Amino acid sequence: MTAEEITLFIQQEPWIALAAVLLASFLIYLFGRWIVGRVLVYLAQRTLNKVDDMIVEHLHPYRVAWIAPLVLIYVFAYLAPDYQEIIEKITLFLILWVGALTINALLNAINEIYESSPAYNGAPIQGYLDLIKLLILSVSVILSVSLITGDPPTVLLTSIGAATAVLLLVFRDTILAVVASFQIAANDLIKEGDWVEVPSYDADGEVLNINLHTIKIQNWDMTLSIIPTYKIVEVSYKNWRGMTESGGRRMKRAIIIDVNSIRFCTPAMLEKYAVVDLLAEDIKQKQALIQEYQESTGSHFDFPLDGPQVTNVQVYRDYIARYLQAREDIHQEGLTRLVRDLAPTDHGLPIEIYAFTRTTAWEDYERIQAEVFNHLIAAASFFDLRLFQFPTGYDLTSINLGGR
C-alpha cells in the first residue's frame, strides 16, 4: 500500500487504525521490557565493569520501556478526535513523570559511581544532585498543573510569586540546607568518612552520608545520629580529620609525683642512675659539672644548695624525654614532643608528657600510650620517687594505730 492509500484507510476506518496503534504500542512495550530490558540487564551482569551495573540498576529499563509506546499513542491521538485532548494530556503527563523519574534515577547512579571511584576523597556531591532533583520535580509539578488546567506555566509561576512568603516558610529547611551544603563544600568542613564529635547532638563517630537535608553519623557504640545539614554550620563540633591527615595522634597525660619524695641527688644516687643506658652520658656530664664546681669552691662548698645540683625528679624527667626519643612509634620531628612540669597541686607535682604516636589507628594508639605510661609509672620508684594516689585498703594496713 502506498502512503496515500494508508492515509485514506485511516480516514475511512479511524477506530481500526486506533486499535492497530494500541496493539503496536503494546507490542513495542513488550519488546522494550522483555527483549531490550532483559538484554541490557544480562549484558551489565556479564561485564567486569561495575559502572554499567549501577546505571542499569538505577535506571530500571522496565520502567523506561513505557516511553516509546506512550509517544506512539500521543502521535496518533488524532485518530480519536472526540478524545484527542484527553489522550494527549494523559500521555504527556505520563511521559513527563517517567522522564523525570528516569533523570532522577540517573543522578542517583552518577552519585553511586562517583562515590565508588578510586579517586573519591569523601567530598560528597549528593547535596548538589539532590538540589537538581528538587528542581526537576518542581518543574514537573508546574508543567503537570499547567497541562491539567490548560494555563501556560507563566501564569502558575506568577501565582507562585504572589505566594513567595508562604513558599519560603514551607521550604525554609530546604533553603537553609542548600546554603549549608555550599558552605560545607566550599570550606571543606566535613567529608564522608570523617570522625566528628557534635556534643549538642551527642554524636561521636564516623560520617556515613551527607545529603541535602541530613548528615548521618555512626557513633562508636554503633548507634546512628541524624543531624540536619544546616545545623552543622550553626553548632560547635570537632572534626578529627586533621589528626588523621597529620599521621600522628597526640598523647597528653600527666604522672603526678608525691612532692615529699622529691630530693637532691647524692653522689650515690647519681652513681645508681648512671647505670641506665639512656641516662649514662647525661649523668656523667652532671657529675663532672658538680665535681668542677666543688673543686673551684673548696671548703666553701655546702651540699646540697651550692653548685649545679640536680634533683631526682629532674633526672626522671630527663629519662622520660630519652625514653620517648628512643621509641620508634613516637614522632621525633615535625610534631611536638615535650616533657614538662605543671604547677604543683594539692595532689603533688604533675609531669606532663606531650607527644604524638606514628599511628592514628585507635587500637594501636591506645596500646602505645598504655606501654609508655605503664613503663614510666613502674620506673618512678627506681628514681626514688613516689606517685600520688588516694589511700586504699592496702595503704591503710600499714598505718600504726597506736599499738593496736
Q: Which three cell numbers stand for residue 159?
A: 501565582
CA angle at residue 240 from 321 to 189, to 5 degrees? Answer: 140
CB neighbourhood size of 176 (10 A): 17
* Whole-number pLDDT of residue 403: 45
Query: Under a CB-based contact definition with an 8 Å cutoff, are residues 255 and 377 in contact?
Result: yes
* Whole-number pLDDT of residue 141: 82
pLDDT tens, residue order, the chain (404 aa): 555 555 555 555 565 666 776 777 777 767 766 666 666 666 666 766 666 666 666 666 666 677 777 787 777 777 777 777 787 888 888 888 888 888 888 888 888 777 777 777 666 777 778 778 878 888 888 788 877 777 777 666 666 665 666 666 667 777 788 888 878 877 788 888 899 999 999 999 999 988 888 899 999 999 999 999 888 888 889 998 888 888 899 999 999 999 999 999 888 999 999 999 998 898 888 888 888 877 777 666 666 666 678 899 999 999 999 999 999 999 998 899 999 999 999 999 999 999 999 999 989 999 999 999 999 999 999 999 999 988 776 666 766 554 44
Q: Which amino acid would we find at residue 96? A: L
Q: Which three cell numbers stand for residue 148?
A: 491539567
Q: Which three cell numbers stand for residue 99?
A: 522522564
Does the CA dihedral 250-255-256-260 come out positive or negative? negative
**Rounded CA gap, 123 and 188, in Å?**
8
Q: Indicate the domain borders of the chain.
A: 3-174, 185-242, 249-394
Q: What share of the chain is helix, strand, coil (3-state, %, to 5)?
A: 60, 15, 25
Task: Write down the H helix ranges in 150-231.
Answer: 153-162, 164-170, 172-187
* Whole-number pLDDT of residue 89: 84
The domain at 185-242 falls in which architecture?
Roll (2.30)
Query: Under a CB-based contact definition with an 8 Å cutoff, are residues 229 and 174 in contact?
Result: no
* Whole-number pLDDT of residue 22: 73
**Rounded CA gap, 319 and 313, in Å?**
10
* 67-75 helix and 14-30 helix, angle to the nearest 10 degrees: 170
Q: pTM of the predicted model, to two decimals?
A: 0.59
Strand-pairing partners, residue 225, are: 217
**Rounded CA gap, 58 and 63, in Å?**
11
* Whole-number pLDDT of residue 175: 78
Closest by CA position to 258, among listed 353, 319, 344, 374: 344
CB neighbourhood size of 204 (10 A): 19
Q: Which amino acid would we find at residue 363? A: E
